[in-house]
Homo-oligomer: A and B are copies of this chain.
Amino acid sequence: MTSQNPVFIPGPTNLPEVLRKAVDMPTIDHRSPVFGKILHPALEGVKKVLKTETGKVFAFPSTGTGGWETAITNTLSPGDKVLATRNGMFSHRWIDMCQRHGLDVQVVMQEWGEGVPADKFEEILTADKAHEIKVVLATHNETATGVKSDIAAVRRALDNAKHPALLFVDGVSSIACYDFRMDEWGVDVAVTGSQKGFMLPPGLAIVGFSPKAMDAVEAAKLSRTFFDIRDMAKGYANNGYPYTPPVGLLNGLNLSCQMLLDEGLENVFARHNRIAEGVRRAVAAWGLSLCATRPELYSDSVSAIRVPEGFDANKIVGHALNAYGVAFGTGLGDVAGKVFRIGHLGMLSDVLALSGIATAEMVMADLGLKVQLGSGVAAAQEHYRQSIPAANKAAA
């Protein structure tokens, strides 16, 4: 029998019942006024989640990768210079995409496990007197390494260098999981998807464009049609899309935003932190360490856990699936085989997190790693007990 165990991959997340039901809707006429009543509240909801008042939000039938392509093709021209760091698989892929679109990417190499190097960025930007760099790319949450970068620091780097470059942030696995402040941090393009913090099935690339980014659109020479935000903006103004919109996902997005805002974003972030911290306590109890090198880099969305030298981390993922029907994340790219990942974003509870921790213990023991059964669970339990939200206590 299929087990219906939760998944512990770093997205797509487990899906809340109500969001599944919101997505699974019968066909409506997407050219009728009914559609506008789904679309606009969804876009407004996303703005609040992004903490932007001045930005414009667009949702494409695509994925986060399509969101990246939207960001660059709508703002840049072939040969334009871009500053980026490579500190994980997803920053790597974004750089690769830029190069394939003919951009000139200045890459600051970082160890995987480190964050975006705001100080080096500041140096480079300060040195770029001609302001040839048009855009700075930053990955807020490196899903591959479980590293959270300091976007406010990147903004300070730009400001200190008095550099006019746009700031593009990949917030695919951070937005709606931990704090993201588009306006305050001066983010010009924010990119995310439906299947992470919004707890929906995949299928939406969600982007926020600042007024400054919008100003760059007309001059941008990179070719695009599907991802052209001008067509999208024109569509929205008429309660429509330039092509068939994914109505069900947008209906789900609308409800998802309502749920997040009703819970309170700060509560959502606290919930993610609480569950993540339990996982980290377990990792420490196992005597293992995270790929993220310092506590301030620890991601509340996903933990990438280093296995002992010489042990193939992929075996953990394979055995967990075969023996216990549980999905963890494998290591990607430079850390393939060196880490396995426990996703703890989106729809998850302390109780379900414990089942993932317990499974990881069994798997590691089965594979001969020296892990005491129950040790990680106990450490996480202790944390969860100490941090029960006040609302739950009150009810008790």
Q: State the A residues within 8 Å of B (CB).
A: 1-5, 7, 9, 11-18, 20-21, 23-32, 61-66, 68-69, 73, 78, 96-97, 100-102, 193, 195, 201-203, 222-228, 242-249, 259, 263, 268, 271, 318-319, 321-327, 329-330, 347, 349-352, 354-355, 358-359, 361-362, 365-366, 372-375, 377-378, 381-382, 384-385, 388, 392-393, 395-396
Smallest Cβ-Cβ distance to A100: which chain B residue: B225
A9/B31 in contact, CB under 8 A: yes
A7 near B24 (CB under 8 angstroms)?
Answer: no
Contacts A223-B101, A375-B374 given; does A385 touch B358 at CB 8 Å: no
Given contacts A100-B223, A226-B62, A377-B373, contact A16 B4 (CB under 8 A): yes
What's the nearest-Cβ distance from chain B to residue A372, in Å? 8
When C-beta atoms are compared, the residue in chain B nearest to A70 turns out to be B226
Nearest CB of B to A295, in Å: 24
Q: Are B30 and A17 in contact (CB under 8 A)?
A: no
Cα A120 to Cα B321 with chains together (Å): 50
Residues in chain B near residue A9, CB distance under 8 A = 27, 29, 31
Q: Which residues of B contact A66 (CB under 8 A)?
A: 61-62, 226, 243
Nearest-neighbour CB distance to chain B for A191, whole angstroms, equals 12
B242 near A65: Cβ-Cβ < 8 Å: yes
Interface pairs (20), CB distance under 8 Å: A2-B18, A4-B26, A9-B27, A9-B29, A12-B30, A63-B244, A64-B243, A66-B226, A100-B223, A193-B244, A201-B247, A201-B248, A202-B245, A226-B227, A324-B350, A354-B354, A354-B358, A362-B381, A362-B384, A373-B385
Query: Considering the chains assembled together, what is the distance between the CA atoms of A361 and B358 in angstroms?
Result: 13
The CA-CA distance from A20 to B263 in the complex, in Å, is 26
For A69, give its contact among B63, B201, B225, B244 (CB under 8 Å): B225
Q: How far is the CA of A362 from the CA of B386 in the complex (A)?
A: 10
A373/B381 in contact, CB under 8 A: yes
Option from B1, B16, B30, B324 in Cβ contact (under 8 Å) with A351 = B324
B-chain residues with CB within 8 Å of residue A193 when the two chains form the complex: 244
How far does the Cβ of A240 sit from chain B's closest Cβ, in whole Å? 11
A202→B246 contact, CB < 8 A: yes
A221 to B48, CA, bound (A): 40
- How many angstroms from the CA of A393 to the CA of B23 in the assembled complex? 30
CA distance A349 to B1 in the complex (A): 9
Q: Would you call B1 and A28 a contact (CB within 8 A)?
A: no
Q: What residue in chain B is nearest A259 (Cβ atoms)?
A: B1
Which of B2, B32, B102, B366 is the one whose CB lies under 8 Å from A16?
B2
Contacts of A202 in B (CB 8 A): 61, 244-247
- B31 and A65 contact, CB distance less than 8 A: no
Query: Is the Cβ of B349 less than 8 Å from the Cβ of A4?
Result: yes
Q: How far is the CB of A239 from chain B (nearest CB, A)?
A: 13
Report how far A263 CA is from B26 CA in the complex, Å: 21
Smallest distance from the beta carbon of A262 to chain B beta carbons, Å? 9
Asked whether, in the complex, the Cβ of A351 is within 8 Å of the Cβ of B347, the reply is no
Compute how far the CA of A23 lies from the CA of B247 in the bound complex, rounded to whole angstroms.
14
